[in-house]
Structure 1
């Protein structure tokens, strides 16, 4: 169904002012929810208004904030006393740890505790 510019601006105003959501407008007017959003943008741009969420800041939960992972320096004295097999196992473990750090996480102990790095999380 085609709406005139005045009707589109009215639909956009109702969405912008919070009278109804874009999903409610889509159902009520028989349009797609993205079209309803575009009508709201049209109203906003025509009247030179700021975006709906301007001035509103997101509150993040501290528990969801990624933790930084610090690289551990190798203890060379412990390597000197290792056998060839122990050195190979230490090298394998170091490469696994390096690959995990590149992906953004570190496993502690038996693998039940995982710490995520802040660098690679999107």
Structure 2
């Protein structure tokens, strides 16, 4: 992924509560946050989404996952708003350089879960898509 691609990936994110996250979340991030803290918060929020998606196998679990995804997406979007215009390609490399493997892993988990849900439980996609679609571009 290029530096610009990493920076663009970062801008797809926001804020959330710490109920189930160890470490930084999107709500902890400000324009003055270090690259390490931004990367940690981003990975934590994306992990929250991946964890929620991996539990989905019926309507009740989809509704529960949607609530968890909402918190993570709120965190990612809040983080994105706070950092708007502050992330350059170099900053993106600093943010994810040491966490690139973590980033790829969590993105893979999310993609795998979305494919599984779409294939095995397409009727649940509306419940999840409403929250997933809120990620800012």
Larger strand share, 1 or 2: 1
Q: Which has the larger radius of gyration?
A: 1
Q: Which has the higher contact order (CA 8 A, sep 6+)?
A: 2
Would the TM-score normalized by the shorter structure come out above 0.5?
no
| TM-score (ref. length: structure 1) | 0.30
Larger helix share, 1 or 2: 2
